[in-house]
Amino acid sequence: MAQKDVANISLGKKLGWRFEALAYDFVCLLLKPFSFDQISAFGGWIVGKIGPLTSKQNIARKGLEIAFPDATEDDIKKLLKDQWNNTGRTFAEFPVLHRLDVSEGNEQIKVVGGERLKDIIKSGKPIVIVTGHFANWEIMAMVLTQWGLNVQITYRPINNPHIDKRVRDQREAYGTKLMVPKSGPKGARELLDALKRGESIAILNDQKFNQGIVIPFFGKDAMTAPGPTRLALASGAPLVPLSLTRDKANFTMTVHEPIMLKETGTRPKDVEAGVLRINEFVEDRIREKPDQWFWVHRRWPKELYK
């Protein structure tokens, strides 16, 4: 948040931010004596109890109904329960991610397609990585940076600047130091400049983007960010998708084959075709593990959630 914006914030809001930061620090202190697996399990349990009581339950339910129109009521109820477990685990795990060892051969975090990632790193050539909010998506950033890929990770700043700093510090603690704002002309320029310098970039491309383009997602039109496709076409860098699944507190990251983009000479159509391919990739991963996507985000237009 810019300095001039902070100056216009009320005293009550600033005090509220301080309280939230103290609460975050207190929770981190409470987690210290427990193992990663215990913290993950507790997060899944507690959010599994609280999540269904919040307004996010309706958002998650509607999203599941849109994506899986043939699912029975029992199917939806089970998916709702399981996705809250995944969401709780993900947020509980974040403050202790620096404890994990993501080195090759570690049984807790397996990498499928690791040779492909090694070849990319060895080549020194930049790539555009595209992925989504699968399982605990922060794990993918950890693998990329700790394996030695020179990569810029995009992020959306948190409104509370104190929490935002703690989150950035936590990411730096597990190796992610190069971060740029997720959207806006400045962020796009920084990402293109990074590619020109030979740095790879990684972007979560599965959430609603109001300034994006309309692309079908599970058969319903959804505003989708064209940034990764545009950057890949502009730079010539390969578009490489990643995915992640979990088994409780164990993870498997997959480095998929590049999405081959076509250049027909009509850039808007080429971008649209590339974004459609990304949406299809995300759909396929969700179908494989429907409980491990971030359903509490309102992905489709608001009117579909009524």
Q: For 45-76, how does the pLDDT look when each residue is reduced to its tens digit (9 = 90+)?
A: 999 999 999 999 999 999 999 999 999 999 99
* DSSP at 253: E
Give the Cα separation of 66 and 127 in Å (integer): 33
Burial class (CB in 10 A: 0-12, 13-18, 19+), 250: middle
How high is the pLDDT of residue 235? Answer: 94
Q: Angle CA(158)–CA(162)–CA(163) in degrees, nearest 5?
A: 50
Q: How many domains does the chain have?
A: 1
Residue 171's pLDDT is: 83
User: What is the span of the domain harbouring residue 195?
Assistant: 3-305
The answer to whether 129 and 244 have CB atoms below 8 angstroms apart is no
Give the per-residue pLDDT at 22.
93
- Taking only Cα atoms into account, the Rg of the chain, rounded to an integer number of angstroms, comes to 19
pLDDT at 182: 61
Give the helix/strand (H/E) hosting 196.
helix 185-196
Contact in structure between 235 and 126 (CB atoms under 8 Å): yes
Rounded Cα distance, 266 and 256, in Å = 27
| Segment-wise mean pLDDT, segments of 10 residues, the chain, 306 residues | 59 90 91 96 98 97 98 98 98 92 88 96 96 96 92 85 88 74 71 92 94 96 96 96 98 97 94 98 98 97 90
**What pTM was estimated for this model as a whole?**
0.91
